[in-house]
Structure formats: C-alpha cells, structure tokens
Chains A and B, each alone.
Chain A
Amino acid sequence: MGKFFAVVLTIIALVSAVPIVMHTWWMPPDISTHGHAIDEQLTDTMAEAGFSFLAAQLLLALFVWKFSERKDSGPIKSLPGGAKGLVIAALILVGTEMLALGVLGQKAWASVYFTPASPNALQVQAQAGQFAFYFRYPGADGKFGALHPDKIDEGNQNYFGLDPANEVEARDDIVSGELAIPANREVLLLIHAKDVGHSFYVPELRIQQDFVPGLDLSVHFTATKVGRYEIVCTQLCGLGHYNMKAYLNVMSQEDFDKWLKQKASEQ
C-alpha cells in the first residue's frame, strides 16, 4: 500500500507540474508598461512555489515508500539533525525566501500604486453599474461635468447623471460604451460605481481594480499594443455578472483623435 501511495503521489506531482512548465494555460501576453514587473514576480514565485511543491511531495512519496510496513523490529531511527535542524532550516530558507518575495513584490506593487499618474495623462472616467461599463471623456474643456445620481436616466442615455442644461462642463463630455485609448500614452482611469460593487479587469493589461460604491478611486496605466481586449467584471454584482463586459480599444494616437472627434459629433 505504501509503495502504491508513493507511486501515485509521484505521478500526481509530476503531471501537475507539466502544464505549468509548458505554459499550456498561461497569462495572455502583456500589453502594459508595468506588466513585466508583475509577470517577473509571478515567474519567480512560480519557481519557488514549484520547487517547494515538488520537493515536499516527492519527499513524502520517498519516505512513505521507504518506511512502509518495515518488518524488522530494530530500533526506530530518527532523522539526522532532528527537529532543531528542520526548524532552523525552515526559518532560514523559508524566511529568506519569503522576505525576498515580499521585498521584490513590493517593487512591482509600488510601480503600479505608489507613483502618481503624470499630469498630462489622459483622464477617463469609468462607471460600472448592473451590468454594463460606461466611459466618459472630459471633452474640449478638459473638465468633467458633476455627477447627479438623481438625474441618471438610462432611457435617455444619461448613464452618468449629467446636467448639461445647467452646467457648462457637462455639455462637451463624451460618453462611450467602450474604452478607447491611445497606445503609449498614460491613462488615468477614474473609478466610479453607480450601484453595487464591480471590478475592472483586463488580463492583458495586468490591471484589476474594484469599483467601490461611495469611494472615488483611480488607476493609471500605459497600454503599448494596439488591439481590442475584453474588460470583464470580477466582483460579484448580481445575476448578470457573468455577462458584464466591455472592450478596451487601444489605438494609435491618430486613430484615437479621429475616434474622439467622431464621438464628440455624435453626442
């Protein structure tokens, strides 16, 4: 029974590692300037986690194989070094490992969250509501009109609750169902929840940020690759959660300017 356990466990451990090593199911290619730091951190962590996983499982298999149902009645041997050796080894090895991961990981985190967006970043407001995202650009005046929740009227396409009749800033605001941005220019995304919690997740962009009702948050990023990517909601928001999506459209600066002009004329 012990040998069978050892063989099954060894097979499980090795087979489990194959898709990881082969990258059979893996992160999509990164399209952001900050993403490589996250990817590197994930790869480093995978090396450490993978080593710990294989070492522990194979050691378990080896010991179970070797010490199952021994017939001899000789005295029971103990691991050389005993508990003290193991505790010291764990403290030093795992301690350094975790400290290293913690410190290195902090750098990747800092690159996203501790540096403010540059002043000339493109400002876009994202609003999440059950079960759609809407995006708002400030228009020619560079200023967003104020939000009035009581003025929200989806039937008349006033998704944000703007009041253009009384407010000048709101008149040229551009509202869109997709997030169009120029490549290689920093974007400051202002996060606003209309009803319940939602989340903004673009796997390729390596960005995930919750929409928290009552809390105005922001993230900033620079996309580097032209293309269309899915934005999905990752915070449970109700029955249509699985279907809540929008598109991130990364364009060249030229195409973006054209797009913005066209959108402005449609408003």
Chain B
Amino acid sequence: MQEASAPQAQQGHHGPPEGFIRKYVFSLDHKVIGKQYYGLALVAVFIGMTLSWLMRYHLIYPNGKIFGLELLSKVGAPGGVMTPEYYLSLMTMHGTLMVFFVLTNAPFAAFGNYFLPIQIGAEDMAFPRFNMMSFWVTLVAFLVLVTAFFIPDGPPISGWTAYAPLSAVGTDAGPGLGWGQNLWGLSIAIFCVGSLLGSLNFIATTLDLRAKGMTLMRMPLCTWAWFITACISLLAFAVLLPACLLLVLDRMAGTSFFIPAGLVVSDRLQAHAGGSPLLWQHLFWFFGHPEVYIAILPAMGIVSHILINSIRRPLLSAKVIIYSMMSIGFLSYMVWGHHMFVSGMNPFSSLMFSFPTLTITIPATVMTLIWLGSLYGARIRFTSASLFALGFISMFVSGGVSGFFLAQPSIDIYLHATYFVVGHFHMVMGVAAIFGVFAGTYFWFPKMTGRMMSEGLGKVHFWFTFIGTYCIFMPFHYLGLAGNVRRYSSFVDDFLLPLMPVHRFITIAALITGAAQFIFLYNLIHSRFRGKVAPVNPWEATSLEWTIPSPPPWNNFGDRHPVVYHDPHQYGVKGSLGDYVMQDSPEKIENES
C-alpha cells in the first residue's frame, strides 16, 4: 500500500469562524456540518417513524379514527379516517424519508463529515465550501419533499421506488400524482446533487489530507467504510440524478422516456409514445441496490470501530474487513436486476443477476465470521455503544439470511412483493444500519458535545429496541411466506384475513418500540445540556479523535500536526496508558504487525 502522507496543505485553509451565522448556520466547519446532517436525519427519522405508526394503526383498524390526522390532510383523512390513497402517500413519504434522509444521511454524511477528517488527522474537508453546500442542498431537498404534505393534492402515492408509468402519467392515474409527484422527483434530484458534492469531498479528503504516517491501512475501519461508501455513492447518485430529471421531464414537459404508446388511464388515451417503463426500473435499481450498501457499509465500519474498543483486542483481520467491504461495493453494481425478476425482463438475465447476488453472501459471511471470531477470547466491556454493535451483528445476520431466498429467481416468483421482502430490507438495511447509528451516537456523543450520555437510559433503550425490532420484523417473514402482499392499505382478500392476528401483534410491537425511541431522544437532549462532562478519551480508544479535546476546537488539532505511528487496532497490548496504544503515540509495541 502506498505510503501516502499529506503535506501541510490543509494549513489555514479557512480561518476561525466569526459570528453566529458563520459558526452555526452557514458553517464551513465539517463538525458543524456533520451535526447539521445528524439533526436533519433526526427530524426525518421521527417523521418517518410517526408515519409508520399511522400506517400500522390503519392496517389493523382501516376505519379507525386517528386524532388530529384531519388537521394534516382534510382530503386524506376525512373525519380522521385515513383513505386508501392517503395510506399510500404516507407509505411513499415514509420510504423516501427513511432511505434518503435517514439511512443515507445519518451513518454516512453525519458521522462521516464529523469524524473522517479528524480520524485521518486533517483540519477540515478538502472542499469546505462544497461541504457546506452539500448540506444546504440536502436541506432544500428535504423541504421540497416535505412540502408535499401541505399541498391540496397531497404527497405522491407511487412508493419510494416511483415506478413508471404510475409516477409519470400525472393526475389521471390518481390523487397525489400531480404536484406531489413533481415535488418528489425534484426533491430526489436535488438530493442527488448534495450527495454527489459530499461524496467527492469524502474521496478527495481521504486521498489528499491524511496526516503524516496515516497510511491507507492505518485508517480506522469506519474511515475506510466512509471512503468506500463515497465511491459507491458517486456512481449511484450520478445515475439517479438523470433518471429523476427524465421523470420530471415526462411529467412536466410532455416527453416520453418512461411512457409507452397506447395507455388508457382513467378512460383517457395518453398522448405519449415510445417510452419504456423498464428503463426507469433499470436506472432506479442501478442506483437502488448500491443504495442499500450506502446505508449498511458505514454501519459496518462504525460497528467494527466500536467493537475493537469494546472487546479490547484487534479484529482477527482488519484487512479482510476492508477487502470484504470493497468487494461488496464492487458487487453492488452487478446485482440490480434481482429487483426485477418478475418484471418481464429477459429470463436469462435473471440468472446473470442471481449469481453475483448469491456471491455477495461470501464477503458478508466473511465479515460476520471475523466479528464473531474476534469475540473469542476477548474481554468484552458492555456499554450502550457495544450493545448496539453486538445487536448490529445479530440483525445483520437475521436480515442477511433472507437474502438467500430473494437472490433466487425461482423462489422470488413466490416471495416477490410480499412482506418477506419488506422484512428482509427493513432488518438488513433499516434496523441494522440504525443500530450502527445508535452505536455511533452513544460512542461519539462525548466527543461531539463534551458531555456523556446516560448509560442507564442507553441500556434501557437498547433492550426495548433490540427485542422490539425482532418482534416487528421477524413476523414480516412469516407473513411473506403465507403470501401476504405488500403495499396494501387494508387486507380484504380471503387468504389474507387469517393473518390479521400477526398484523395486530406487529402493530403493538411497533407502537411500543417506537415509543421507546423517545427515551433515546430524551437522553440525547438531556445529556447535551446536563450530562456529565466528558474527558478527552472516555472509552480508552486509540484513534485520533480521542487525542483532541471534547468537543474539538474549530481546527480540530489546534496548531498541532498529528503524526501517526500505529494502526488504530492496538488493543490488548502493553501500553503506557493501559491495554491500548494510541495512534499518535511514538511508543514501541511488542509484536506489532
């Protein structure tokens, strides 16, 4: 590996911030931008969660009144009773908010922005102005999307995947497909711009601004994960951006990229010809599948980073983790067709997409075995962060094994578009990634705010969340096996009625687990102001973020230029401070590889 080390190029590339606006609003400081992303994700996740509560309630009481819902939408919930189309609107908004504004923002943009520069010993990102822009562009995308709640037509009903032609032909196809869908397309296009700016920045920073001695292989595993994610993200959003623009053109300029000839929607023959609905699916999933890894890879990195700190020993092999993440990133571009097995795509190409999908199991299993094997003979310390890291491994396995089924076109004939799929991606991409975010929050909160979070509340939060998410998402798989179709606003078919008890159980579990998240919110806010003052290195960790004050000064390392002597995996050794040696400590370590 190349012995790259950064010259002091970053020195003084922006001065200390002056005034409230430069300090907290239009800040160039990657740490403030990281916190802004985190705040945005937090707002989005609580909206998204509330939407899932409303949906779960509606599924078991289709005619039940929901107090206050009428205030949000008179048309969508006349008398407080949700209409079928409003259910689909909420579902679309839930998916879009969660995938884009939570799962992409929190593990990658928020923590990556805050910690990537510090972990490589840089003063800031390579392009601080681009960095600021990436957040504000993302915020605009969020506001554009959320506006859809307040327009007369309501939010779009075509799902987060916005399959054409439903999403393309306009209001003829139903409510929410007018301006709601326009706002959706514009919002996601804007979001892509923000993500592209962010990814460029991550890549340039990692390659150019590493401190002296910080070789690539000495970077912490989460930095590696953010770097690989940035590479994936650069290619993925670069495809989604034009796809969304073409969709908006179909809708607003009368083009026909995704609409074929001869469609009769609501008794009206559409004036489009020559487009292909499958083109949208190919473009969308060419982004959509790598997106799954954009959500999960940073969580894998964060968990690996926290795990070695909790088990007080290095992983069996950090290199294997890095190479596995790389191969997952590479393979993620060869598998998008597995979302389209029953789409009418050539059945031979289904096989070509099935094999690489099954192959992803190999690096994923290797990583799981490395995490598991590293626990052997360790001395595990239990903090809220380590519990969520261990919980992540469990969730990743549970969500991963259902992929065995969905990777096979023959089984997908039966399971496609059932709750089995919903259970699969919620567990592996939703819950597992969120566990990574929780672990990261409990672990880094002291550094980010200078105060400790309550460990007691953190553990209560963990138990509710761990048991609760299993209670919610395991039964999804049972429903799918029984053929329960997804995206239904209520279950009226005879073969679905016997499954209602399972749905009731899930709804109760979802309400309780969701409520438990307010423990986390309380802990977060309360600790921010009233938590114990955090020392520089509360977890006895080795990486560079723990060598600077909590919270760090605007230029991270002050006037110091850190020099790195070790990789961050030096746990379970005899060091001057205890059983670990920090990356910037010049001391010699016995048997250092």
Contact = CB atoms under 8 A, between A and B. Distances in A.
18 contacts: A27-B481, A42-B411, A53-B398, A67-B375, A68-B380, A69-B380, A77-B376, A102-B355, A106-B354, A109-B408, A149-B264, A150-B269, A196-B263, A207-B413, A213-B259, A214-B262, A232-B485, A241-B84
A152 B382 CA distance: 67
A248 interface: no
A235 B354 contact: no
Given A83-B370, A203-B483, A241-B488, A105 B260 contact: no
A16 B502 CA distance: 13
Interface in B331-355: 342-344, 347, 350-351, 354-355
A83 B371 CA distance: 10
Contacts of B278: 212, 215
A249 to B, nearest CB: 14
A132 B314 CA distance: 60
Interface residues of A, number: 102
Interface in A70-117: 70, 75-79, 82-83, 86-87, 89-91, 94-95, 97-99, 101-102, 105-106, 108-109, 112-114
Contacts of A56: 368, 372, 397
A109 B409 contact: yes
Contacts of B481: 20, 25-27
Nearest to A113: B347
B404 A236 contact: no
Given A102-B354, A209-B344, A130 B173 contact: yes
Nearest to B373: A79
B493 A232 contact: yes
A67 to B, nearest CB: 5
A12 interface: yes
A37 B414 CA distance: 12
A245 interface: yes
B379 A76 contact: yes
A92 to B, nearest CB: 10
B69 to A, nearest CB: 17
Nearest to A63: B375
Contacts of A215: 260, 276-278, 344
A2 B347 CA distance: 49
B401 interface: yes
Interface of B: 83-85, 88, 157-159, 163-166, 169, 173-175, 259-267, 269, 275-278, 311-313, 316-317, 320, 342-344, 347, 350-351, 354-355, 358-359, 361-362, 365-366, 368-370, 372-382, 387, 390, 393-394, 397-398, 401-402, 404-405, 407-411, 413-414, 416-418, 459, 463, 466-467, 470, 474, 478-479, 481-483, 485-495, 499, 502, 572
Given A105-B354, A152-B264, A196 B166 contact: yes
B264 A161 contact: yes
B174 A239 contact: yes
A38 B502 CA distance: 25
Contacts of A199: 342, 417
A98 B359 contact: yes
Interface in A16-37: 16, 19-20, 24-28, 37
A102 B351 CA distance: 8
A178 interface: no
Contacts of B316: 78-79, 82-83, 86
A46 B398 CA distance: 13
B366 A194 contact: no
Nearest to B62: A242
A153 B397 CA distance: 53
Contact of B263 (A45, A87, A194): A194
A76 B387 CA distance: 21
Contacts of B320: 83, 87
A230 B484 CA distance: 12
A206 interface: yes
B381 A69 contact: yes
A214 B411 contact: no
A114 B261 CA distance: 29
B495 A238 contact: no
Given A60-B393, A67-B379, A241-B487, A38 B173 contact: no
B485 A79 contact: no
B462 to A, nearest CB: 9
A83 B265 contact: no
B351 A109 contact: yes
A137 B164 CA distance: 29
Contacts of A210: 342-344
Given A42-B405, A242-B492, A82 B317 contact: yes
A230 to B, nearest CB: 5
A83 B405 contact: no
B281 to A, nearest CB: 9
A169 interface: no
Contact of B401 (A53, A83, A90, A236): A53
A45 B354 CA distance: 14
Nearest to A81: B373
A48 interface: yes
B377 A239 contact: no
- Closest A-B pairs by Cβ, 7 of them: A214-B260, A77-B377, A83-B317, A203-B483, A108-B410, A239-B85, A242-B488
B410 A109 contact: yes
B549 to A, nearest CB: 30
Nearest to B159: A236
B470 A242 contact: no
A125 B23 CA distance: 66
Contacts of A163: none
A140 interface: no
A64 B275 contact: no
A245 B269 CA distance: 24
A245 B491 CA distance: 12
Contact of A195 (B264, B276, B354, B365): B264
B339 to A, nearest CB: 11
A161 B262 CA distance: 11
A57 B410 contact: no
Contacts of B158: 236
Given A109-B347, A112-B410, A76 B312 contact: yes
Contacts of A195: 165, 169, 173, 263-266
Contacts of A109: 347, 350-351, 408-410
B505 to A, nearest CB: 12
A76 B572 contact: yes
B343 A42 contact: no
Contacts of B350: 109, 113
A236 B410 CA distance: 22
B373 A25 contact: no
A150 B262 CA distance: 8
Nearest to A8: B467
A5 B397 contact: no
